[in-house]
Amino acid sequence: MAKKESSNSSNGSNRASTSVDELLLAALERNDTSFETGRYIVTFKEGAVDEGIQSLRTQGMSVADARDFDNQALEMESLSDADAVVFPEIGSALLGGHAAQERSISTFAEVASDSPILSIDPEYFVFADSMYSEFLQGRATQTAPGTPNEFLRGFLQAAETIAKEMRESGHSLTEVEEEVQVLGATWGLNACRVPPSVRSGVGIKVAVLDTGFDLGHPDFVGRPIVSQTFVGQPVQDIHGHGTHTTGTACGPRTPAGTIPRYGIGYRSSIYVGKVLSNSGGSVGSSVLAGMNWAIANRCAVISMSLGGQGGVQPSYTAAGQAALNNGCLIIAAAGNVAGGATGYPANSPTIMSVASLDSNLAPSSYSSLGKIEIAGPGRDVFSSWPRPTRYKTISGTSMATPHVSGCAALWAETSPNLRGLALWRRLQATARRLPYPVTRVGAGLVQAP
């Protein structure tokens, strides 16, 4: 079936090396409300990556390959001459809009049955899970055309103001201590039965693909961290979202002073992939580049608290399958759209989707529903935050996801056979059953071994 032509392919500022912020600006200039970047994602048929690369080169394209970089840590900003960028681990590629237009490549074109290409799809903007829900809530109360542009404009302004906001909003350190210190661990860790577990995640690589991490956070001093940026900005987290999710999945067993335990895989190997910019926004190719890197490094657990609303995207499905084939498991947030369907990439059948629970173990009101595999604590979750705040309590399926990822690392430690699909099944088989539909909580509340 023919697909809808992308309206963005005529813009010249959508080359493969164009930065996230430049793409956002271009979307504003063309008054676009589609959340498309103007570039394309090509998904190759399984096992046809090299044939696909040759196909692109036959059409005169300059093709960059992630395998040309150490550990496939692709540096998008260094690819100024590339028309296409290939992510070989996951079988997909980014096509610059200008290069595609010159060759009449679009989502409208039919793909020949003998082509190594499975599909050609628009590249979309991607957001920290909580950011997209904020946009949807705002759109529900506004009818003026162009509202999405105001949302995109906000991302461009956010990087300039977020440091100030971090100091002026949220819980203070003292307030949070008073809420939870009496228990010695956060409510989420207790609900998942983490404190009694003898497992630490030692020897297990956990990749967190998010807004980066506060590399100087005092709770992680001396902890080896492998990091890479895919958005052209330093890994150092200015936004906060990535530091929070990493803290839950991999934080310390005994934080200093009276701070409660908030981390699960306290001896796991941390891999931080910055796929979201400091404003919390990004594009699909940056996310795919991070997924490709995590799989190339054989991270047994890949945690993704990000996404957007829309149908299943072939590139994410292929990435999820590549992960499973290589003994990795991608775990992603379902989304924070109350009453809405699970968003991408969590809606792909090869990616484990996580819903959010409140402290009474009821589904959170904001948690998306539909394709849900498992649930985790997501309401009022305490974890690490960039300095000087250091700690913060926030909510969302973004917070539920690293609970599942952290527990997955503990389970993976118990047996080298618990990888990929076997790990997926173990997480579901051992989950605490809850009296709610599977479309809300999946198999139930994740539990530590």
Write out the catalytic residue numbers: 210, 241, 398
Backbone phi, psi, residue 80, to 5°: -60, -30
Q: Strand pairing partners for 330?
A: 302
Going edge to edge, which strands form the sheet with 352-357? 225-229, 269-274, 205-210, 301-304, 329-333, 352-357, 374-377
Beta-strand (E) ranges in 45-162?
A: 63-65, 84-87, 92-95, 117-128
CA–CA separation, 268 and 33 (whole Å): 41
By C-alpha distance, which of 427, 433, 434 is closest to 449?
427
CA–CA separation, 444 and 436 (whole Å): 8
CA–CA separation, 270 and 222 (whole Å): 12
β-strands 329-333, 301-304 pairing: parallel
CA–CA separation, 382 and 399 (whole Å): 9
For 169, counting Cβ atoms within 10 Å of its Cβ (0-12 exposed, 13-18 middle, 19+ buried), the class is: exposed
Contact criterion met (CB below 8 Å) for 75 and 93: no
